[in-house]
């Protein structure tokens, strides 16, 4: 985990270990793992001898573009849902966050930056899985900081639904993938609810624009 190098066939640390390493709750890790499993990045094996297995990426740009075009309404709806739900979560997090929430979120932002840099340098596909796990932990960590369990569950559902139509578009990490996270965190740190909500909306809509631009090529 610390090296950010995951290859097909590698096992991710156990749920308890991931929670300790990411410094987030097991609930947050469980939700993040569900996103990666739904997106096809990992396989979750239950029972004795089970665990989280990194899968071979199946990235086919032509097929991904076709699926996205075929599911444009589902993509739109998924991003609409995320903007509404996650902006609300960020707003409440700014109002209700505890001091202990801030270093956890800051560490995730730093590690996402490190993962982007590492991926740019060596191009290893494992960095995509690493980034997505950290990214999900960050967004779910904000929802958890809101103190609202239903919002946490809604954010988790929204991220899972996003990956169904989007699928394999993210065969690499976009350079701007971490651009808005620091702004969101700064607003939450300052307890500026309006700014936190706006920064989250800007971040999600930037991802939406990236996908729309990709489809127009």
Say how far apart CA 134 and CA 192 lie, in whole Å.
24
Number of domains present in the structure of the chain = 1
pLDDT higher than 80, residue 202: yes
**How many Cβ atoms from other residues are within 10 Å of residue 145's Cβ?**
24
In a domain? residue 54: yes
Mean pLDDT score across all residues of the chain: 83
10-61, pLDDT tens digit by residue?
788 888 888 887 777 888 888 778 877 876 778 887 766 678 888 766 656 6
Bridge partners for 42 per DSSP: 54
For residue 196, what is the domain's CATH number? 1.20.120.530
In a domain? residue 45: yes
In a domain? residue 94: yes
pTM, two decimal places: 0.74
Determine phi and psi for 59, rounding to 5 degrees.
-100, 110
In a domain? residue 3: no
> In the prediction, which pLDDT does 1 show?
34
In a domain? residue 1: no
Strand ordering across the sheet containing 11-12? 11-12, 51-54, 42-45
Structure tokens at 169: 């578009």
Say how far apart CA 55 and CA 44 lie, in whole Å.
10
């Amino acid at each position: 985990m610390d090296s950010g190098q995951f290859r097909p066939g590698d096992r991710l640390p156990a749920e308890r270990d991931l929670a300790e390493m990411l410094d987030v709750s097991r609930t947050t890790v469980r939700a993040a793992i569900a996103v990666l499993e739904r997106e096809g990045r990992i396989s979750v094996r239950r029972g004795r001898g089970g665990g989280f297995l990194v899968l071979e990426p199946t990235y086919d740009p032509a097929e991904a573009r076709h699926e996205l075009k075929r599911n444009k309404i589902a993509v739109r709806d998924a991003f609409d849902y995320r903007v509404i739900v996650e902006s609300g979560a960020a707003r409440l997090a700014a109002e209700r966050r505890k001091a202990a929430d801030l270093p956890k979120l800051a560490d995730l932002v730093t590690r996402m930056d490190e993962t982007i840099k590492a991926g740019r340098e060596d191009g290893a596909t494992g960095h995509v899985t690493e980034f997505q796990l950290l990214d999900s932990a960050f967004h779910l960590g904000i929802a958890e900081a809101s103190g609202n369990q239903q919002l946490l569950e809604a954010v988790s559902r929204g991220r899972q639904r996003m990956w169904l139509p989007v699928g394999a578009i993210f065969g690499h990490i976009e350079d701007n993938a971490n651009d808005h996270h620091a702004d969101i965190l700064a607003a939450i740190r300052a307890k500026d609810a309006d700014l936190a909500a706006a920064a989250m909306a800007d971040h999600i809509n930037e991802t939406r624009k990236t996908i729309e631009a990709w489809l127009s090529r």
